[in-house]
């Protein structure tokens, strides 16, 4: 097995500021959604860093110049339902032409194992860079299962983007998918006995959709 890629952690004052506000249990549902969208936009910049470009000649006021544009069929964002949809909006703000896939996974709260209940991907996945989205990389079971399915659909070099990651989840992902780059806003201390990230930010899905 090849050496696992090290996670990319966004080290920026705006990220730290917005993430602190996001963690605050007194932040409203509307505020949580807005902050998640803003952070996902910042995540998108880093998650798309390795996209390839090709030359593009354009007309400017002084004549012609050669610039660059994205090469190939570009991107596919893959949301792990339901909380992944909170990151999706910000990503699409940055790349509105991207295709979108969805993966529905359930986690057993006792065994922490996951099972799939929904899978829908664009037909041209092999020609696109897939960025898999979920706010949390906790145990890593859901993320790794989603990556496995995306690879089976033809994705060559998927990326996993999340707001928070736990060391346990990073290790699990590295064991199963050492070739996958994890991009996150922060790596927290640990998981608690229920598999939640500490200090974390609570249940991201409940806070996004007001079901807490």
> How confident is the prediction for the chain on average, in pLDDT?
90
pLDDT at 184 over 60: yes
137 is in an annotated binding site: yes
203 flagged as catalytic: yes
Q: What is the pTM of this model?
A: 0.90
108 flagged as catalytic: no
Beta strands in the chain (DSSP E): 8-9, 53-60, 63-70, 75-81, 99-107, 114-120, 129-133, 136-137, 159-165, 181-187, 190-191, 197-198
203 is in an annotated binding site: yes
- Going from N- to C-terminal start, the domains of the chain cover 8-198
Q: Give the pLDDT confidence of 24-42 residue by residue, as tens digits.
A: 999 999 999 999 999 999 9
**Short-list 152, 187, 181, CA closest to 167:** 187
Q: Give the pLDDT confidence of 173-183 residue by residue, as tens digits.
A: 999 999 999 99
pLDDT at 210 over 90: no
Find the radius of gyration of the CA atoms of the chain: 18
pLDDT at 188: 96
206 flagged as catalytic: yes
Sign of the Cα pseudo-torsion (145, 148, 152, 158, in order): positive
pLDDT at 66 over 70: yes
Q: 8-198 has which fold?
A: Rossmann fold (3.40.50)
Q: Give the pLDDT confidence of 109-140 residue by residue, as tens digits.
A: 676 677 889 999 988 888 788 999 999 999 99
102 is in an annotated binding site: no
111 flagged as catalytic: yes
């Amino acid at each position: 097995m090849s050496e696992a890629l090290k996670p990319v952690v966004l080290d920026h004052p705006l990220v730290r500021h917005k993430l602190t506000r996001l963690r605050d249990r007194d932040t409203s549902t509307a505020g949580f959604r807005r902050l998640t969208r803003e952070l996902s936009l910042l995540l998108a910049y880093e998650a798309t860093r390795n996209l390839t470009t090709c030359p593009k000649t354009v007309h400017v006021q002084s004549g012609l110049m050669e610039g660059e544009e994205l090469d190939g069929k570009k991107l596919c964002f893959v949301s792990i339902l339901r909380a992944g949809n909170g990151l999706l909006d910000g990503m699409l703000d940055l790349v509105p032409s991207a295709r979108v896939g969805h993966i529905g996974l359930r986690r057993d709260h006792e065994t922490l194992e996951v099972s799939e209940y929904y899978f829908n991907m664009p037909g041209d996945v092999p020609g696109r860079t897939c960025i898999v989205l979920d706010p949390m990389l906790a145990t890593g079971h859901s993320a790794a299962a989603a990556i496995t399915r995306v690879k089976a659909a033809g994705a060559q070099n998927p990326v996993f983007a999340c707001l928070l990651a736990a060391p346990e989840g990073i290790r699990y992902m590295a064991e199963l998918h050492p070739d996958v780059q994890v991009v996150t806003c922060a790596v927290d201390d640990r998981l608690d006995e229920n598999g939640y990230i500490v200090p974390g930010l609570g249940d991201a899905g409940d806070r996004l959709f007001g079901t807490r």
